[in-house]
Amino acid sequence: MTLAESLRREGHQEGRQEGLLLGRQLALQEAVFDVLATRFSRIPEGLRDTVLTARDEATLQTLHRAAIECPSLEAFSERL
């Protein structure tokens, strides 16, 4: 295998990994939005923007759990 082929293969693998990570991130953001919309009917734009800026998977999982547990949008906002 040539150096160019090796680098190309490595780049493809990194691209797939980044794609998978982005896919999980988007799925978690959508899960947060789904829970909030189901429980509270609407999601204020500022709150939506804040969730969209969250990139870390652990943070998004925490936000998802908070969306499930919090009794109000205000309580959810305080957890941010």
Write the DSSP string, 24-44.
Answer: HHHHHHHHHHHHHHHHHS---
Question: Given pLDDT bands bounded at 50, 70 and 90, which one contains residue 53?
Answer: very high
pLDDT of residue 15: 74
Give the other-Cβ count within 10 Å of 60's Cβ. Answer: 20
Question: How far is it, in rounded angstroms, from Cα 70 to Cα 7?
Answer: 48
CA angle 76, 69, 46 (to 5 degrees): 20
pLDDT of residue 7: 62
Q: What is the pLDDT of residues 21-44, one digit of tens each?
A: 789 999 999 999 999 999 999 899
For the full predicted model, state whether its pTM sits above 0.85: no
Question: How far is it, in rounded angstroms, from Cα 31 to Cα 11?
Answer: 30
Amino acid symbol at 10: E
More confident residue, 25 or 7: 25
